[in-house]
Structure 1
């Protein structure tokens, strides 16, 4: 049997969530797993006036989404993204712009066991700034082909310390720390966002707008070129096709002997006839003399 009553505090949270879900143009699900609380509150303050973050239990978030979806189509689609440590963010900003805003307030963090590397860390072959000593042995234990040469630590070949998305072990955390590499991006990640009845996954929100714009421009040009080649009439191709047809018609009218008279070709045909008459007259006069 479906529950219809809740403790007062739950009802208040549900009502607040429902109100925001029904009044915001865009709703997002945030992932703040392992996110430092001080940085979280700092970003929350920076967002004031542009977006609002509400943290609640996942069960309450899903329930609020279910209830609000009765009035706003598609909201229930966010429920699948509510897992682990989640929060809802409410804004009037477009989803892509919101995602870019959140990424702009991230910061680099050192490697710690259990964290996820945000990037590939690759040591390139060649001289390093590391002084000879225990560091060489540690590198060699990690599988790095390192040696001392002319008083400097030299890496013989490229070595991938860790891959993007890989969980950092204690051994790799120690090595990365000594290498001075901070491979973790502390970001409030937007798992998904809802807007105008549609769900946008986090991967989709990572689109490069400039690249997308260039791809669309190129696709438009290629489609226009193809339509013109096929002489396919569209609002964009009809003016060009009419100009082409007019040019071809005029060329044909001029080519047909003795010429097909039209408003456009008549002056040219008369001039041509006049020239031919003069040439004929000249030849006749020459024969007469």
Structure 2
């Protein structure tokens, strides 16, 4: 019997590949920007969030041009060898374009760029796999949401979800309540999906989006300088930028 067309499996995750024309246009745009601006910065991101990267683009739109992703295309456009490089010396930066990194073209003085990115941190909720920056213990009594000041208890209709995520709650006068203290997460331990979801529901931010600078190319000298110290990401930030308990209040302002 012939196979029914109705039983055909259709993938909903198919990604449309970039055409050769689109890649060529991107390469041309990168090369044009390398001729327009004095500096080209290579950067990486800790706790990647598209919304926060869009904020960075918006804040720099009048004084810089940012490209993120498609590393192989960016590297090829700039040239990864001295023979292929589009501008003198830029191959020393292009050959470092690997993984999830981006480039930023600007005329802004280097120290201003470094200072800006050191200060720019956006608190966010951790995801599964991030490392807990502190131990969170939910006390006996109503389960509170910290999205507002002062915190408020969860509504009764969210009690089933809290139980599903691992909290032994019961309704007390219509309020989800704990009869025993519950250790939600432990400092230094990776978060499970349930723990990450609970932290988000309760309002505890444990990570921060931050842009780390890797290297800078100078069109006037053709030299590439590696960035170390405050402008760069730490190893911990690369796997999920962690904010301490003392930083959470200041960063959420």
Please indicate the TM-score interval, normalised by the length of the shorter structure.
0.5 to 0.7
Match of 1:187 in 2: 210
Structure 2, unmatched stretches of 5+, are: 1-18, 142-176, 234-253
Question: Is 2:150 the partner of 1:134?
Answer: no
Question: Is 2:67 the partner of 1:43?
Answer: no
CA distance, structure 2, for counterparts of residue 135 and residue 172 of structure 1: 19
**SS at the partner of 2:93?**
helix
**SS at the partner of 2:62?**
coil
Question: Is 2:130 the partner of 1:107?
Answer: no
Match of 2:248 in 1: none
Task: Indicate the structure (1 or 2) with the bigger Cα radius of gyration.
Answer: 1
Describe how 1:50-65 pairs up with structure 2 within 5 A: 50-55=63-68, 57-65=70-78
TM-score, normalising length from structure 1?
Answer: 0.48
Q: Residues 100 and 169 (structure 1 numbering): CA distance in 2 closer, same or farther, change over 3 Å?
A: farther
Would you identify which runs of 4 or more consecutive aligned residues in structure 1 move more than 6 Å? Answer: none
CA distance, structure 2, for counterparts of residue 13 and residue 206 of structure 1: 27
Q: Residues 122 and 96 (structure 1 numbering): CA distance in 2 closer, same or farther, change over 3 Å?
A: farther
CA distance, structure 2, for counterparts of residue 93 and residue 114 of structure 1: 36
CA distance, structure 1, for counterparts of residue 25 and residue 200 of structure 2: 46
Match of 1:87 in 2: 102
**SS at the partner of 2:182?**
helix
* C-alpha deviation, 1:61, in angstroms: 0.8
Alpha-carbon RMSD across the aligned residues, in angstroms, is 3.6
The structure richer in strand per residue is 2
- In 2, are the aligned partners of 1:77 and 1:199 still within 8 Å (CA)? no
The structure richer in helix per residue is 1
Question: Is 2:189 the partner of 1:169?
Answer: no
Q: Residues 70 and 51 (structure 1 numbering): CA distance in 2 closer, same or farther, change over 3 Å?
A: closer
Deviations 1:133-166 (A, max 9, x none): 6384422x86xxxxxxxxxxxxxxxxxx334xx7
* C-alpha deviation, 1:47, in angstroms: 0.7
Describe how 1:176-215 pairs up with structure 2 within 5 A: 176-177=199-200, 180-195=203-218, 196=221, 197-201=223-227, 203=229, 205-206=231-232
**Count of matched residue pairs:** 174
* C-alpha deviation, 1:27, in angstroms: 1.0
